[in-house]
Amino acid sequence: MTTLPPVRELMRAFNERDSTYDGVFYTAVKTTGIFCRPVCPARKPKPENVEFFATGREAMFAGYRPCLRCKPLTAGHEPPELVAKLLEAIKTEPGARLRDGDLRDMGIDPSTARRQFQKQFGMTFQAYHRALRMGGALKQVRDGATVIDSQLEAGFESGSGFRDAFARLFGASPKGEGRKECLLARWLDTPLGAMLALANDDGLYVLDFVDRRGLERELSRLARRFAIVPGPHDILDRTEREMREYFGRTRSRFTLPLAERGTDFQRGVWEQLVRIAPGATRSYAELAGIIGAPRSVRAVARANGDNFRAIVIPCHRVIGSDGSLTGYGGGLARKQWLLDHEKAVAAATRRTAPVKMLG
């Protein structure tokens, strides 16, 4: 995972418009909801209103939109015609989802769009659009807001666009959450990036990285039953505390109550995941054998992918039969980091364990 220089150095480079840091980090301004390149000529904000990101993608998932002046995602250059056309379409309907069929209706080949966005922004068009949607809708969760109706802070240029994005993710308009049973939401900052936690009195429903593939789909599914709103809850407090202890190397197992969800088969797989010791791994085939379904390796892999309670239910501890890293929604770089982290903690624990005397 990318590690940024110390904040003091980042502030120096930003204030001095140090071009050697262009592309190394991005500066986001809380009061405007935009993010910039270090060389942006705009007036410098107060330090307390600034935060830094290693990639533009991270800034977008945090709810910031690219600066129109310094164009952080294009290094100041105008994008190609096809990319510009898609950016304008997103601007017109920020909460909408443009699938491959929609692109073809616009006379755009989806594979061409993917290639050009990858070259221009370092991510595909769908990834770019998802970051914009998720970031805009999650901005208020991140800020801990209790009323989801702030247009500017969400990074949308129209209030209707923000409400639409929120409704698509969370199943209710910003002022209509009272119609359903609620899931309380909280944004958690971790060394591996931001995570979203959802819980109510039933337990923890979701804990996953905000840029995790499939999270948007899972939120939409939950939104058919719940309204998802920012708010306090004891389980969220415990989740935040235990995650902080986990990354601080003082906790390797969790005591959080988990909401009952999933099929019997999925729950059987998840129960076995929790039994894998920190610092250890199992293969998908081994898990299938343990649950008495040796021919269900693919089904076990799907259950892993449907977990959405990352780290707490440690699906990252499952690897290929040949020892290779495979299939992690949060990305293989995170999976490797988590495994290395847990092995180091386990090794340190063994070194400091008291020696039993014989006799």
70 noted as active-site residue: no
315 noted as active-site residue: yes
pLDDT of residue 267: 95
> How does pLDDT run across 149-158, given as a tens digit for each residue?
443 344 444 4
Write out the DSSP string of 323-345. S-----TT-HHHHHHHHHHHHHH
> How does pLDDT run across 84-102, given as a tens digit for each residue?
888 888 877 766 778 889 8
Whether residue 140 lies inside any domain: the answer is no
CATH of residue 288's domain is 1.10.10.10
pLDDT in tens, the chain (359 residues): 667 889 999 999 999 999 999 989 999 999 999 999 999 999 999 999 999 999 999 999 999 989 989 989 887 777 888 888 888 888 777 667 788 898 898 889 989 988 888 888 888 888 888 888 888 888 878 877 544 444 334 444 444 455 555 666 666 544 444 456 889 999 999 999 999 999 999 999 999 999 998 999 999 899 888 888 888 899 999 999 999 999 999 999 999 999 999 999 999 999 999 999 999 999 999 999 999 999 999 999 999 999 999 999 999 999 998 888 888 888 999 999 999 999 999 888 777 666 555 54
CATH of residue 40's domain is 3.40.10.10
Is the overall model pTM greater than 0.85, yes or no?
no
Segments forming the whole domain that contains residue 281? 264-352
pLDDT of residue 145: 57
Whether residue 6 lies inside any domain: the answer is yes
Write out the DSSP string of 242-289. HHHHHHTTS-SS----B---S-HHHHHHHHHHHTSPTT--EEHHHHHH
Whether residue 255 lies inside any domain: the answer is no
Report the domain count for the chain. 2
- Among 71, 93, 126, the domain boundary falls at 71
Distance set, CA 65 to CA 71, 84, 104 (Å): 10, 16, 26
Handedness of CA 216, 218, 221, 222 (dihedral sign): negative
Query: What gap in Å lies between CA 177 and CA 154, rounded to an integer?
Result: 18
Catalytic residue among 36, 40, 67, 70: 36
Q: What is the DSSP letter of 353?
A: S
Query: What gap in Å lies between CA 139 and CA 131, rounded to an integer?
Result: 11
Catalytic residue among 40, 67, 70, 315: 315
- Among 15, 50, 71, the domain boundary falls at 71
